[in-house]
Structures are given as structure tokens and as C-alpha cells.
Structure 1
Amino acid sequence: MNRILITPRSLTRNPDPALQALVLNGYRLVFSRAGETPDEATLLDLLPGCVGWLAGVEPVSPLVLESAHDLRVISRNGSGSDNLPLEVAERLGIQVLRAAGANARGVAELAIGLMLASLRHVPEQSAALKAGNWQRRPGLEIEGRTLGLIGCGAVGRLVARFALALDARVRVFDPYPDAGFMPEGDFAWAPLEQVLEEADLLSLHCPMPLNGLALLDRPVIGRMRQGCHVVNTARAALVDEEAMLQALESGHVRVYATDVFAVEPPAPSRLLAHSRVIATPHIGGLTAESIRRATVGAVENLQAALRNQPARR
């Protein structure tokens, strides 16, 4: 009854030394298959008998939690919890904790990197050169261009600061704007419509809408500036893939850069194969520093909760 399940891909592939704190406190660590996202069958097999779970981004069904009769705490090694059935966890008395902000810098740096790569056609020109073609395409500089941010939490704030340091204009929509956050430079909070209409670059840093529908659907994409570059390091479902594909083919969206997918790894698709899509395999928080911060935070949360959370009846 002292087992803890470890499922984040980064930790099953290369266990962080921070996990040793759990071992030293008498817990036995159980790992899912190294480097793979565990499916429902795997979780149903591994979770019974576990009192704690250091969880990643794997989708979790209500059945998984209902079958884990000893589970008391789920500790995420990140800030999101969209993959968890939170109402079921609350009903069962399973505490859900997050390592908020731990991977914010890694995700923010990747978002900026994707913006710059899209402006300078880095993926296409690299591929052409490797194929033996000397293809020099003029690009764009970020200075003076408007970056629109949807969501301004830990990641969005860092992206805003980085972009301002590069002399971009930054316009931000957040349903709960923080008037105390006003970094130096050409920065302003703005309504969503204004952000969509003005953004040369649009970057998503928000949770899913409460209705569960895509934020960037066909009508919303239609209101965006012609030739906008869109970056998504937040959640795949924020973007209607068919609408985005149509916008790319019409030229309304110039580049779509994404680090997130509904199913990981993603199946081949027309969107993924599009010449003006830049895709990375969910590496936003996959830096040595982010993994370390997230693991330390998740372990500390897990230990504190297990000390204070009574066994389930």
C-alpha cells in the first residue's frame, strides 16, 4: 500500500534524481513503459494498489480513477489538468495537485522560437538545403510586428516579456486581465476582437473554453488578420484542424506552428503534412531545467499531500 505510479514520458525514459526523495520516505515506485504515453489498459493494470500518482499528460478516463481504490493523490508534473476527469476525482476524494509554472520558461522559449522560425522560413529552407537545393527566401523581422497573445498566465507573461525585448508590439486578451502586469514596452491589454484583427503573430496560452469547443474555429480564424502566423504550445483542441487547414490553403493563415496534438504521437494528416505547418513533438516543457523544476514540485506536492490526506474508505 505504499506504491506510487510514475507515468510522465520524460521520467519513465530518464528518471530524475528528485524521485529518490520518495524512495527514501518508504515508497515503492512503479513506472509505466519507458518513453510511452500509457493507455487506459496500462493504467488499469498499474494503478491498483497505488496511493499516489505522479502523472503526465496521458488521457485519464473516469473508469481508471474508479478502479484505483487506494489512490489518494494525483500530482501533475505541470500546470494543466485537462487530461483528468476532475469531477470524478473530487467525488472519489482523490486530491489533484499541479506543479504550476514549473515548465513556463521552456514553453515560452519554444513559442518564441517557433515564431522566429516561421518568420524566417527556417524549416523549409533547411529541408531544401539538405535536399541539395540552394533556396534563399526573404523573411520578416519581429521588430514592430504585433504579437497577439490569448491567455496571459505564467507562460503568456514570459512570452510577452521576450517579445517586447525583441521590440515587438504586444496585445493581450485574457478573460481575467491583471492590471498589475504592465511590462515596459509597447504592451496593452485588449479585447479579443482587437487582438485577432491586429496580430501579425498569434500565440495561444490559455485553457480550453468551458464549452469544450475550439477557440480558433472557422468564424474566429476568419476575423484574424490576413497572413497571420499562429503558434499553439497550449492545447491541440483549441484549434479546429479542418478550419486551420482551409485557412492555410487559402493563404489567410501564413504559418501554423504547433507543439500539441489531440493524440500523441499524431497519425498522419493533411494538416501535419502541410508545407506551412511547423510541428514539434510536444517538447515545450522538455528541457532539463523545466523537467527538474516540474519533478521537484510534483514530488514535494505528492509527499505533503500523502502526509495529510487520509486513506480512502
Structure 2
Amino acid sequence: MRIAILDDYQDVALAYGDFSGLDVTVFTEPLTDVAAQLAGFEAVVAMRERTRFPAAVLRSLPGLRLLVTTGRRNAAIDLAVATELGITVCHTGYRPAAAAEHTWALILAALRHVPVEDGNIRAGRWQSTVGTELEGSVLGLVGLGNLGRRVARVATAFGMEVLAWSSNLDAARAAEAGATAVTKDELFARADVVSIHYVLSDRSRGIVGADDIARMRPGALLVNTSRSGLLDTGAAAGAARRGDIRLALDVFDHEPLPAGDPLRDLPNSVLTGHVGYVTDQQYRVFYPDAAEDLRAYLAGAPVRVMNPA
């Protein structure tokens, strides 16, 4: 079986996972023509949602028999069509701490102007910014699932008030996480920091739109480490460019971010390249599990199957 490992940007897959004895080709750059570049491969290991597998792409790969995704879900794979085509889709384990921790890395970097002050030191300058404390401020969480609850716990340690909203959140569940359930309008109007932690679906796409952003307090920070499709990034970037809000993003509509994209010179922002889940500990789960998925399939006993027959 010819196996493709995709989007190994750091070129570390073979160091983290035991793929010995397998016919593996590693792609360290994004694919430019998925159908052409994956022609002849019978198995693919996809790193999260870096490469998309919608219906048209799956139908263009008649030899594909196994698709392994790192993590427990992947909105970039059309699971129904994969099932229809007889493609087995398997997943790996996932460590949720990484993304929650990166959320706080972005919040602190933005509010204490870490990128600017780092640049100052390196350029021979000294103290050009005034930071903002977290204690006594308000955090608004859009979504209070596993990641949202982790972020809420840290906010409590910083002495922040935590507000939360989702389409089906009740007061008791919010209170269990140390948060107060509020309306969406109130959350955006009151929060000093808004952080998005929602599962992307057809119903939640664009759940944070221009009207929500317009309600934010002057100078408030909006953070998205979840999925770009949840946020009207254009509206958020426009607000940051005008100086209405500050913005911290780890996810983008087009990844990697294209050369010349206006986000690259966006003021009042901190940007990272979808590295929220990229940690040593995470890769020590992803790649060994992916190798195990491949070997189990070849042995005729697939594990962690997302679309069982």
C-alpha cells in the first residue's frame, strides 16, 4: 500500500511515528493539485484540516482506500461520500490542552504587546507600549465546551469575570465552569476579551459576524483559535484596522496565509499560523496513532474508525 503523509510542515512525522516497513511518502509543503499529487496512493494521513477532502476530491481519487485524520474530528472530510466510496476513515487521539494554552498565549501577547516589545529590544528601542491587566476584566466565551471550560478555569485564576454564550447553554452548566450564561449581545457588549471556542458546522458558520463585532467595547480583544469559518474575519480585520478592537488569530480563511494578504500588515493584532494544536506532546499522540491506524488496517482490523460499515 502506497501511503502519503500530508502537510508535515516541520518535517517531523517520521521522527514521531514508527512508519518503518511501510511505503511512505511525506509531503512537507501544501498540495497544489490534490487529485494529481495523490494519484496512485491508497492511504493518506491528513494533518487536521490542512488539506481538504470534499466530495469532488474524494471522487477524484479512485484508488484511495484509507484516510487517516489526526484528531477526533475533521470538518474538511466529507465523511458521507467517503463511506459511499468505500473509503475507511480513521482518527487518532487528541490533547485538548494545547489549543486552550495557545489561546492564553495570544491573549497575553496581545494585551502586553509582546511582539512589539520584542521587536523594540531587538531594534535597540525601549518601552513604547502600555499593557493591559487581566485582573478585574471580563472574558466572554463564545462556546463553553471542553476547550471553553479549560480557558474559563485559567481566567478565574487571573481574577477575571467569565461570561459565556452558546445556542444551547443553560445557567447551571455555565456555573459549573465558573461562568455566567448571558445573551450573545450582552457578551459582546461587556467583555474586554472575547474568545471563540465553537464547533464549526453549517449552523455555526459565521456565528460571530459584523453586528457582534460592532457591539464590542473600544479596544476590546477578539481571539479566534477555533475555526476561521466561525468568524467574519473581514469584518474583524476592518475593525482592528480602524482601531476599534484588537485581534488575535491563529486560524484563517486561506491557509497558509497567501503572500500579499492584507492581514499580514494588520495593526492592533497578533497572528500565528494555526499552531494552537502544534506541540511536542500532541505530535507524540498524532503520529504514533496514525502509524497504528495504518498497520491495523493492513492487518484487516481497522481501529478508531469514523465511518464503520
TM bin, normalised by shorter chain, reads 0.7 to 0.9
Distance 2:96 2:9 in 1: 16
Root mean square deviation, CA, Å: 2.8
Q: Distance in 2 between matches of 1:152 and 1:73?
A: 33
Does the aligned pair in 2 maintain the 1:150–1:205 contact within 8 Å? yes
Cα distance in 2 for partners of 1:189, 1:301 equals 40
Counterpart among 107, 120, 123 of residue 128 in structure 1: 120
Taking the aligned partners of 1:271 and 1:142, their CA distance within structure 2 comes to: 26
Partner SS, residue 9 of structure 1 = coil
Indicate the residue corresponding to 2:12 in structure 1: 14
Is residue 112–residue 163 contact of structure 1 (8 Å, CA) maintained in 2?
A: no
Residues in 2 aligned to 1:294 and 1:177: alpha-carbon distance in whole angstroms? 31
Rate the CA distance shift 1:226–1:277 in 2: closer, same or farther, 3 A: same
Retained in 1: the 8 A contact 2:44–2:67?
A: yes
Residue 228 of structure 1: how far off its partner (Å): 1.6
State the Cα deviation string for residues 225-260 of structure 1 (Å, max 9, x = none). Answer: 33220111112232223312321233331x111111
Structure 2: distance between partners of 1:93 and 1:191 = 44
Gaps of 5+ in 2: none
1:266 to 240, 257, 269: 257
What is the correspondence of 1:152-231 to structure 2 with a 5 Å cutoff?
152-177=144-169, 182-183=175-176, 186-210=178-202, 213-231=205-223
CA drift of 1:29 comes to 1.9
Q: Contact between 1:197 and 1:224, CA under 8 Å: does it hold in 2?
A: yes
Task: Please state whether the residue corresponding to 1:132 is helix, strand or coil.
Answer: coil
Counterpart in 2 of 1:3? 2
In the TM superposition, residue 289 of structure 1 has moved relative to its aligned partner by 0.8
Q: Do the aligned residues in 2 keep the contact of 1:118 with 1:257 (CA within 8 Å)?
A: yes
Indicate conservation of the 8 Å contact 1:40/1:61, yes or no: no
**Displacement of 1:61 after TM fit?**
4.2
Distance 1:224 1:301, change over 3 A: farther
Are positions 1:288 and 2:280 aligned together?
yes
Pairing 1:74-93 to 2, within 5 Å after superposition: 74-93=67-86
1:99 and 1:3 map into 2 onto residues whose CA distance is 20
**SS at structure 2 position matched to 1:281:** coil
- The letter of the residue matching 1:74 is L
Structure 1 residues 249 and 181, CA gap change in structure 2 (3 angstroms): closer
**Deviations 1:69-118 (CA, angstroms, capped at 9, x unpaired):** 34333221124422223332232232333335x14211111110110111
Amino acid at match of 1:132: G
Q: 1:148/1:79 Cα in 2 relative to 1: closer, same or farther (>3 Å)?
A: farther
Structure-1-length-normalised TM-score: 0.83
Q: 1:128 Cα shift?
A: 2.9
Q: Is the 8 A contact 1:146 1:198 kept in 2?
A: yes
Partners of 1:149 and 1:173 within 8 A in 2: yes
- Give the direction of change, closer, same or farther, for the CA distance of 1:37–1:203 in structure 2 (3 Å limit): same
Q: Deviations over 1:132-190 (max 9, x none)?
A: 33234221111121111112333222212222222222222233448567556x42233
| Candidates 88, 104, 107, aligned match of 2:96 | 104
Instruction: Report the AA paired with residue 48 of structure 1.
Output: G
Query: C-alpha separation between the residues in 1 aligned to 2:297 and 2:182?
Result: 39
Write the distance in 2 (CA, Å) between the matches of 1:143 and 1:288: 31
Aligned pairs (5 A) from 1:5-154: 5-10=4-9, 13-17=11-15, 19-20=17-18, 22-23=19-20, 27-32=22-27, 34=28, 36-41=29-34, 43-50=35-42, 52-56=43-47, 57-99=50-92, 102-154=94-146
CA contact (8 A) 1:44 1:64 kept: no
Work out the percentage of aligned pairs sharing the same amino acid.
29
Q: Is the 8 A contact 2:5 2:26 kept in 1?
A: yes
Query: How does 1:231-250 map onto structure 2 within 5 Å?
Result: 231-250=223-242
Question: In 1, Cα distance between the equivalents of 2:156 and 2:39?
Answer: 45
Q: Aligned equivalents of 2:162 and 2:115: distance in 1? A: 25
Q: 1:182 to 1:23 in 2, by over 3 A?
A: farther
